[in-house]
């Protein structure tokens, strides 16, 4: 997709142009919403976008997100049992921690930088680009809840 070196600190218009997408107000607003709220559902991003661009439709947010994913500008992650979550940070092979209790999602960097950190025993001839790893566990807030319930 040629999007491995997107610098997501660039302003929204530059990001869109670099990804080959036309710069529109809803798209810029969705980029800004993703930047502030990574790992968000489309409907949550829609709430954020309409706070600044009230005339935006939910469909245009969905369209923008799918355009971003196609262009390699955003990534869609789908932890088991969760709706699709979107984030801007792509191309760095980072992984996710997901809390099985409250669904909180955190980024964790790949242990070996850009190289896929999971080297399969047999690649079956595939040229590997990345490995997506989801670590499942219970976040500190939920661990605290459980401890206070049992004490």
Contact track, Zn ion, 9-48, x by CB under 5 A: ----------------------------------------
Report the alpha-carbon distance of residue 89 to residue 72 in Å, rounded: 10
Residues numbered 83-112 forming contacts with Zn ion, rule: CB under 5 A: 87, 99, 101-102, 104, 107
Concatenate the DSSP letters of all residues of 113-143 into one string. Answer: TTS-S---S--TT--------EEEE--HHHH
Q: Considering the rule CB under 5 A, would residue 142 count as an interface residue with Zn ion?
A: yes
- Contact segment (CB under 5 A) with Zn ion among 40-48, 57-65, 115-123, 136-144 equals 136-144
Nearest in space to 111 (alpha carbons), one of 77, 89, 135: 135
CA dist 57 → 14, 20, 41, 63, 88 (Å):
23, 23, 15, 10, 20
Report the alpha-carbon distance of residue 71 to residue 23 in Å, rounded: 13
Comparing CB distances to Zn ion, the nearer of 67 and 87 is 87
Q: To the nearest whole angstrom, how small is the minimum distance from the Cβ of residue 149 to Zn ion?
A: 14
Q: To the nearest whole angstrom, how small is the minimum distance from the Cβ of residue 115 to Zn ion?
A: 18
Residue ranges in contact with Zn ion by CB under 5 A: 87, 99, 101-102, 104, 107, 139, 142
């Amino acid at each position: 997709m040629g999007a491995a070196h997107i610098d997501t600190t660039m302003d929204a218009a530059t990001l869109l142009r670099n990804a080959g997408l036309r710069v529109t107000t809803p798209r810029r607003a969705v980029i800004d919403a993703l930047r502030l709220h990574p790992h968000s559902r489309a409907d949550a991003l829609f709430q954020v976008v309409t706070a600044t661009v009230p005339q935006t439709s939910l469909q245009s947010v969905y369209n923008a997100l799918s355009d971003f994913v196609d262009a390699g500008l955003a990534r869609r992650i789908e932890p088991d049992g969760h709706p699709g979550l979107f984030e801007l940070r792509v191309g760095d092979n980072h992984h996710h921690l997901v809390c099985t209790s409250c669904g909180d999602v955190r980024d964790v960097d790949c242990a070996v930088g850009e190289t896929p950190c999971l080297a399969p025993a047999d690649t079956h001839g595939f040229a590997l680009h990345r490995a997506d790893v989801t670590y499942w566990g219970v976040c500190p807030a939920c661990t605290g809840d459980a401890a206070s319930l049992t004490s």
